[in-house]
């Protein structure tokens, strides 16, 4: 009888350890990573990591995308613009937040910023899909390029 209880205790302990090991393994790094100088397409509220060619890993989060460009098949007085709100932070929790604007003559599609005394440049390459009159745009994506200055 004591042998059965001992075997049950050992089996239960091993099973519990395996479940904990699998749970810890799945919680590790799961967000996509990309290289410095490589364009990445990010949806609203998504995050990606700039990891491969940097000494400190950068996390890029798209906080919001507001697209007020003139829809296809519509007549507009103004061409409009798409505004992407970004936050960039490193592993030491230093961060920078800024807006990138696509589609205006103001050329605010490029922003220079620094984190932890390192200079970077963010370029908004595109915002997709282009608005269509009468169609809701809930899945906007921003194509962003981060380079080191």
Distance CA 147, CA 38 (A): 8
Which are the contacts of 116, defined by CB distance < 8 A and separation ≥ 6?
56, 90, 92, 94
- Residue 80 burial by Cβ neighbours in a 10 Å radius (0-12, 13-18, 19+): middle
Convert the pLDDT of each residue in 17-62 to its tens digit: 776 666 654 434 456 677 788 888 999 888 888 866 555 678 899 9
- What mean pLDDT comes out for the span 107-132? 88
pLDDT at 85 (0 to 100): 94
Edge-to-edge strands, sheet with 82-90 = 33-34, 47-50, 58-67, 82-90, 95-102
pLDDT at 63 (0 to 100): 93
The alpha carbon torsion through 128, 133, 134, 138 (nearest 10 deg) reads 10
Convert the pLDDT of each residue in 60-114 to its tens digit: 999 999 988 888 888 888 888 999 999 998 877 788 999 999 886 666 889 999 8
**Model confidence at 3, in pLDDT bands (50, 70, 90)?**
low
DSSP tally for the chain: helices H, then strands E? 1, 9
Per the model's pLDDT, the better-predicted residue between 25 and 7 turns out to be: 7
């Amino acid at each position: 009888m004591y042998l059965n209880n001992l075997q049950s205790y050992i089996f239960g302990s091993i099973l519990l350890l395996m479940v904990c090991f699998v749970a810890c393994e799945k919680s590790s790094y799961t967000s996509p990573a990309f290289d410095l100088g490589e364009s990445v397409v990010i949806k609203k509220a998504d995050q990606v990591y700039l990891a491969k060619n940097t000494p400190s890993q950068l996390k890029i989060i798209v906080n919001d995308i507001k697209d007020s460009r003139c829809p296809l098949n519509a007549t507009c007085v103004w061409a409009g613009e798409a505004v992407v709100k970004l936050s960039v932070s490193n592993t030491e929790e230093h961060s920078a937040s800024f807006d990138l604007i696509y589609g205006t003559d103001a050329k605010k599609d490029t922003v220079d910023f620094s984190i932890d005394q390192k200079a970077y440049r963010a370029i908004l390459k595109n915002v997709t899909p282009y608005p269509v009159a009468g169609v809701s745009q809930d899945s906007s994506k921003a194509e962003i390029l981060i380079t080191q200055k």
